């Protein structure tokens, strides 16, 4: 893999990236409590992985109602902005480029995580039956729980949420991030508005696909005005037939995902944003994205295209060589291998992932994975 296309530089918006290996957003649940503040420990984790050509932070909730999992960081208070500045300073000291992922889980939450114990908010009062939220039950202890039936947002509240995304983008710039990514995947709030299965509104944000895409359009426009389109990306998780219904929480299966997501990508193309990131199903025997869809994405979108899934270096390089992708994201391998790009480029063996350190905890399973030289 020494001469892999993944090791070649590429332009992304205003940045020239050193390589095409991406650290994607990966929930690790290690923010400081109370306050959901990014920490020095988190700064070290991202610093270790700054040899990625491009990095996206773990999902960071844009407001208190946007949290669906205990101990995930936010980006709506001064302390949270200061905490993230520690992270971005560490990444930039290593020459890295990092965007913040702006996150709101919508209905995939629980009263225990909501201000004043209220119901979560969503496009419609439809329970996320396949999903689980995660609540704290004690110091460092928690459990997965079923989200309750959410409260449907009013039209004015939807418009106010667009403003929350724009403010979160301002906060991200104040925190030193190089840009932002809108989380529109995995069955969370923006995905809920797009989906006919989660959105049964009868106002301007519901009904037709054009209306269901309105929330996305307005967020993209509002955030672009803050950061500039070339410092903006959007993440989707289109799922096609054959999806294991026990894993629907990773996204929402549309009746015609090809049409739905191409129309969504046309929104991004019209806005001229830097990239679209597509998260594929990543469990055993999950269906592959159809080649016809990949080609249609390339034909529709002139910005950079990132794919994430169960990629090896070889499989990712083939997709780039075929002209269907520009960058490839590696999730679990990057958790276990802080020097992943060098390992991929040189054909060095990979550390195995220790699953017990994935979510929550301390430095164990987080910043204690060795680099190859060790």
Find out whether 23 and 56 touch, Cβ atoms under 8 Å.
Answer: yes
Measured between alpha carbons, how far is residue 132 from residues 60, 108, 127, 258 in Å? 18, 7, 11, 27
What is the pLDDT, as a whole number, of residue 82?
A: 98
Distance of CA 232 to the CA centre of its chain: 13
Residue 213 has phi, psi (to 5 degrees) of -90, -5
Distance between terminal CA atoms of the chain? 21
Measured between alpha carbons, how far is residue 297 from residues 258, 259, 277, 348 in Å? 9, 11, 11, 33
Find out whether 122 and 152 touch, Cβ atoms under 8 Å.
Answer: yes
Q: What is the 3-state secondary structure (H, E, C) of 70-125?
A: CCCCECCCHHHHHHHHHHHHHHHHCCCCEEEEEECCCCCCCHHHCHHHCCCEECCC
Find out whether 159 and 135 touch, Cβ atoms under 8 Å.
Answer: no
What is the pLDDT, as a whole number, of residue 312?
A: 94
Give dist(CA 71, CA 91) in Å, integer. Answer: 22
Complete DSSP assignment for 138-163 = ETTEEEEE---PPEEPPHHHHHHHHH
Find out whether 172 and 75 touch, Cβ atoms under 8 Å.
Answer: yes
The residues annotated as belonging to the active site are: 188
- Domain 5-357 top-level CATH class: alpha beta
Longest dimension (CA), the chain: 59
What is the pLDDT, as a whole number, of residue 92?
A: 98
Q: What is the pLDDT along the chain (374 residues), one digit of tens a residue?
A: 445 899 999 999 999 999 999 999 999 999 999 999 999 999 999 999 999 999 999 999 999 999 999 999 999 999 999 999 999 999 999 999 999 999 999 999 999 999 999 999 999 999 998 899 999 999 999 999 999 999 999 999 999 999 999 999 999 999 999 999 999 999 999 999 999 999 999 999 999 999 999 999 999 999 999 999 999 999 999 986 554 444 545 567 898 999 999 999 999 999 999 999 999 987 777 778 999 999 999 999 999 999 999 999 999 999 999 999 999 999 999 999 999 999 999 999 999 999 999 999 999 999 999 999 87
Measured between alpha carbons, how far is residue 68 from residues 168, 186, 228, 364 in Å? 17, 12, 29, 24
């Amino acid at each position: 893999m020494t001469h892999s296309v993944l090791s070649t530089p590429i332009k992304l918006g205003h940045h020239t990236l050193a390589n095409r290996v991406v650290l994607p957003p990966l929930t690790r649940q290690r923010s400081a409590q109370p306050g959901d503040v990014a920490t020095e420990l988190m700064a070290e984790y991202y610093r270790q992985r700054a040899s990625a050509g491009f990095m996206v932070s773990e999902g960071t909730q844009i407001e208190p109602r946007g949290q669906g999992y205990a101990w995930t960081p936010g980006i709506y208070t001064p302390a949270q902005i200061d905490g993230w500045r520690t992270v971005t300073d560490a990444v930039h000291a290593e020459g890295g480029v990092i965007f913040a992922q702006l996150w709101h889980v919508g209905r995939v939450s629980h009263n225990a995580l909501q201000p004043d114990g209220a119901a979560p908010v969503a496009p419609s009062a439809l329970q996320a039956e396949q999903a689980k939220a995660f609540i704290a039950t004690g110091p460092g202890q928690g459990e997965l729980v079923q989200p309750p039936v959410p409260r449907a947002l009013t039209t004015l509240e939807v418009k106010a949420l667009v403003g929350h995304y724009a403010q979160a983008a301002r906060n991200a710039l104040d925190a030193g991030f190089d840009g932002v990514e809108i989380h529109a995947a995995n069955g969370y709030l923006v995905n809920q508005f797009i989906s006919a299965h989660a959105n049964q509104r009868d106002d301007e944000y519901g009904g037709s696909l054009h209306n269901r895409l309105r929330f996305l359009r307005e967020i993209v426009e509002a955030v672009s005005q803050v950061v500039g389109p070339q410092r903006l990306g959007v993440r989707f998780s289109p799922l096609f037939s054959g999806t294991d219904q026990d894993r629907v929480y990773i996204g929402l299966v549309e009746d015609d995902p090809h049409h739905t997501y191409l129309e969504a990508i046309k929104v991004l193309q019209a806005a001229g944003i830097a990239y679209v990131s597509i998260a594929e199903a990543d469990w055993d025997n999950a269906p592959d994205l159809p080649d016809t869809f990949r080609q249609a994405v390339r034909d529709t979108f002139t910005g950079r295209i990132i794919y994430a899934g169960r990629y090896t270096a070889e499989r990712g390089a083939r997709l780039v060589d075929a002209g269907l992708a520009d960058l490839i994201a590696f999730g679990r391998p990057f958790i276990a291998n802080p020097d992943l790009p060098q390992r991929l480029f040189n054909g060095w063996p990979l550390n195995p992932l220790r699953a017990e350190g994935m979510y929550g905890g301390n430095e164990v399973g987080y910043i204690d994975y060795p680099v190859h030289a060790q």
